Amino acid sequence: MIFWEIAKRNIRIHLLRSTLAMLGIVIGVVAIASMGILGNSLVLTVSDSLKTVGDSVIVTPHVGGTMGGFSGGAGGSSSLRITEQNFQQIKRASAPNVAIPILQTSDRMKLGVGSDDIVAAIYGLNPDDVPDLLKLKEGGYSRGNSGCLVGSTFATDHNVKVGSRIAIGTDGNKGTLRVTGIIEERGMAFDVSTDSAIVVTKDWFDETYNRDDYDKVVIKVKNLDDLPAVKTAIENQMNKRDKIVDVVDTRKTMETIFSAFGQITTFVSAIGGISMLVAGVSILNIMMMSVTERIKEIGIMRSIGAQRKEVMSMFLYEALILGVVGSLIGGAMSLLGGYAISSVLLKTTKYLFVYSSLIHIVYGMSFGIVISLICGIYPAWRAANLNPIDALRHE
Amino acid sequence: MDEHPVMVFKDVVKVYPLPSGDVTALDGINFKVGRGEFISIMGPSGSGKSTLLNLMGCLDTPTAGDIYISGTRTGDMSDKELTDLRRDRIGFIFQYFNLFPLLNIIENVTFPMMLKSQEAVDPEKGRAALRAVQLDDSLFTHTPTEVSGGQQQRVAVARALINDPDILLCDEPTGNLDSKTGAGIMELMSELNRKGTTIIMVTHDPNIAKYSHRTIRIADGRIVE
């Protein structure tokens, strides 16, 4: 392994320029790995936020479609709604899965004597359906019409506790509700986003806002493999003649979102890859310098019996050492960088030490080594194919 | 014992094609080198000495004619075979020593052995070769730049002999040394020749050529005596 030894020593005596070449690889690995880790952490963060709603089919009135069996109305956030008859059809089509009708509006409310009015979203749900949809972190579910649940952000922002009272409407003209429970944080959701909202009983909602229809229907599918079938069954049932409902499979939506995040991660990693290509050019440049400086040495080696492939291996070893050392340093720095970025941007490092994040360090390091080797091939080939006589004469 | 001459040149011609026209560097070269001979090749600059040395060292191939090394015709050999031939049967000694600056003395000497065996070699053989050229043991782990020119040339001689070649090719071996050191190197060559090493030496210096048994004089690409 004398050629390995010569490669090592040549790097050592040209330590400064070797270090600069390695620095390029280090930057390239850090760029690729950090971007990959950040992208993956974002995907995992969103995935965690959405995982509670990945088991649903959501039915909403088709916007821009014919009115069909749907009612128009005032006082809510939408002018298209689902009637009780439509709901029963949806329920039959999605059986035996649970179909949950949801009412939605927003209104003014006051949280105590002397406090300012605020505006928040209000969801109306059948008390029997609430446990299927929402989990509580404190208190209990409302049974009577005078109780309500509040989202965790709502509770924190307005200092609301179990037992607090909320007056609905301007100056409380629509009645006062007592908080019976605080809902666990749900994050972004396709069905109901309750974190900054309150949840009341359907009866109270109907009575207060004079409603006998629904804004959407959420079907909780027990077996996730049945999601497409449930979606198809509802579409077949409801959109026979005209498209009157939009049916969304939340898992499919999540897959689309994750795919988009994946593409973003790939794109930003590719931008990191450009810095690696620049590093490769630097390696190529340094290897060409190394060959030029050592033409006579190559001529001596060839004249005393070194084969072309042995001369080639000597320069490839040099490129390999630069690539491996640069990639190892880059890998270690990526871990530190990933830790810092996760801590600062995502406020958590729990997504860093997982396979799908750490693999980006392996990708970055592998790319660094491969680029170094590729950029070492031409100088090594050139060295190996020098004419020994010309090389010996070189000064 | 190999009965073939160590080297045979038969009607060797070397022509360099140039844009301005072909240049004939060697024209009809014929000679034989017997085992144990010490030959010097002399001639003025541009006479074809270097071309002849390159052909003898299998670094170049003739345009016409045949060259035999220990009975093996070199004309049809591949680059790999010629490289193996140089490694195993020919030892080179250069005017400027041409040691590897990244390797120490012992590594320089054992380098051709490593090329041959493709693995680590016993450094004791390198030490023995260096002692044979009268180099002090204390210098073995030094790098070439840390020793004198004469000592570097002794190392180069040891390196050339390490694979027991059939022939030692020397290109102005004392050309970069003072006369006293040069004389020491020539004494060493004579001693090696007395022990059976075949030596061909290119030189300008008639005083150095006196150490050889036979002189081939070359002019305008032809042997003149």
The tens digit of pLDDT for each residue in A215-252 reads 999 988 877 778 888 888 888 888 887 888 888 887 77
- Sequence-distant (6+) residues with CB within 8 A of A350 are none
The per-residue pLDDT for A51 is 60
The per-residue pLDDT for A347 is 80
**Who has greater pLDDT, B37 or B121?**
B37
Report strand pairing: A136-139 vs A175-183.
Answer: antiparallel
Cross-strand bridge partners of residue B16: B23
Q: What are the DSSP E strand ranges found in chain A?
A: 56-61, 71-72, 80-81, 98-110, 118-125, 136-139, 147-150, 165-168, 175-183, 197-201, 216-220, 245-249
Q: Is the pLDDT of residue A41 over 70?
A: yes
Asked if B107 reaches chain A (Cβ–Cβ under 8 Å), the answer is yes
Q: How far apart are CA A183 and CA A140, in angstroms?
A: 9
Of B80, B87, B103, the CB nearest to A304: B87
Q: How far apart are CA A223 and CA B52, in angstroms?
A: 87
Question: Do residues A133 and A218 touch, judged by C-beta distance below 8 A?
Answer: yes
Yes or no, beta carbons of A6 and B79 under 8 Å apart = no
The per-residue pLDDT for A317 is 96
| pLDDT band with cut points at 50, 70 and 90 for residue A67 | very low
Name the DSSP letter for residue A343: I
Q: How far apart are CA B152 and CA B145, in angstroms?
A: 8
Asked if A74 reaches chain B (Cβ–Cβ under 8 Å), the answer is no
**Winning range, highest mean pLDDT, from A42-56, A124-138, B200-214:** B200-214
Asked if B219 reaches chain A (Cβ–Cβ under 8 Å), the answer is no
The per-residue pLDDT for B1 is 53
| Section A338-345 average pLDDT | 84
| Section B37-64 average pLDDT | 92
Of A6, A307, A310, the CB nearest to B102: A6
> For residue B20, with 0-12 CB atoms within 10 Å meaning exposed, 13-18 middle and 19 or more buried, which class applies?
exposed
Yes or no, beta carbons of A303 and B92 under 8 Å apart = yes
Yes or no, beta carbons of B86 and A2 under 8 Å apart = no
Substitution target in A1, A11, A301, A303 with the highest count of B β-carbons within 10 Å is A303
Which residue in chain B has the smallest CA separation from A302?
A: B83
**DSSP 3-state of A76:** coil
**DSSP 3-state of A124:** strand
Among positive and negative, which fits the CA dihedral A195, A201, A204, A208?
positive
DSSP chain B: ---S-SEEEEEEEEEE--TT--EEEEEEEEEEE-TT-EEEEE--TTSSHHHHHHHHTTSS--SEEEEEETTEE-TT--HHHHHHHHHHHEEEE-TT----TTS-HHHHHHHHHHHHHSS---HHHHHHHHHHTT--GGGTTS-GGGS-HHHHHHHHHHHHHTT--SEEEEESTTTTS-HHHHHHHHHHHHHHHHTT-EEEEE-S-HHHHTTSSEEEEEETTEE--
CATH topology of domain B7-223: Rossmann fold (3.40.50)
Tally Cβ neighbours within 10 Å of residue B17: 8
Closest CA to B67 of B79, B76, B213: B76
Question: Do residues A217 and A102 touch, judged by C-beta distance below 8 A?
Answer: yes
Of B54, B100, B115, the CB nearest to A305: B115
| pLDDT band with cut points at 50, 70 and 90 for residue B106 | very high
pLDDT digits (tens, 9 = 90+) for B154-176: 999 999 989 989 899 999 898 88
CB neighbour burial string for A61-80, b if at least 16 within 10 angstroms, e if fewer: bbeeeeebebbeeeebeeeb
| Section A106-128 average pLDDT | 86
With a CB-CB cutoff of 8 Å, which residues 276-315 of chain A face chain B? 296-297, 300-308, 310
DSSP A293-327: HTHHHHHHHHHTT--HHHHHHHHHHHHHHHHHHHH
| pLDDT band with cut points at 50, 70 and 90 for residue A86 | confident
Of B59, B116, B163, the CB nearest to A303: B59
- Mean pLDDT score of chain A: 86
| Section A34-38 average pLDDT | 86
| pLDDT band with cut points at 50, 70 and 90 for residue A64 | low
Q: What are the DSSP E strand ranges found in A14-84?
A: 56-61, 71-72, 80-81
> For residue B200, with 0-12 CB atoms within 10 Å meaning exposed, 13-18 middle and 19 or more buried, which class applies?
buried
Q: How far is B216 from chain A (nearest CA, A)?
A: 23
Asked if B86 reaches chain A (Cβ–Cβ under 8 Å), the answer is yes
Q: How far is B32 from chain A (nearest CA, A)?
A: 22
Q: Is the pLDDT of residue B63 over 60?
A: yes
Q: How far is B113 from chain A (nearest CA, A)?
A: 10
With a CB-CB cutoff of 8 Å, which residues 235-264 of chain A face chain B? none
Asked if A15 reaches chain B (Cβ–Cβ under 8 Å), the answer is no
Lowest pLDDT segment from A259-263, A352-356, B15-19, B197-201: A259-263
The per-residue pLDDT for A77 is 41
Yes or no, beta carbons of B86 and A303 under 8 Å apart = yes
The per-residue pLDDT for A74 is 38
Q: Which amino acid is at A137?
A: K
Chain A environment of B163 (Cβ under 8 Å): 305
Q: How far is B211 from chain A (nearest CA, A)?
A: 25
- Sequence-distant (6+) residues with CB within 8 A of A182 are A136, A137, A138, A139, A149, A150, A151, A152, A155, A160, A161, A162
Q: Which helix (H) or strand (E) segment is A263 a member of?
A: helix A250-293
Lowest pLDDT segment from B38-47, B170-179, B209-218: B170-179
> For residue A294, with 0-12 CB atoms within 10 Å meaning exposed, 13-18 middle and 19 or more buried, which class applies?
buried
Q: Is the pLDDT of residue A76 over 60?
A: no
The per-residue pLDDT for A65 is 54
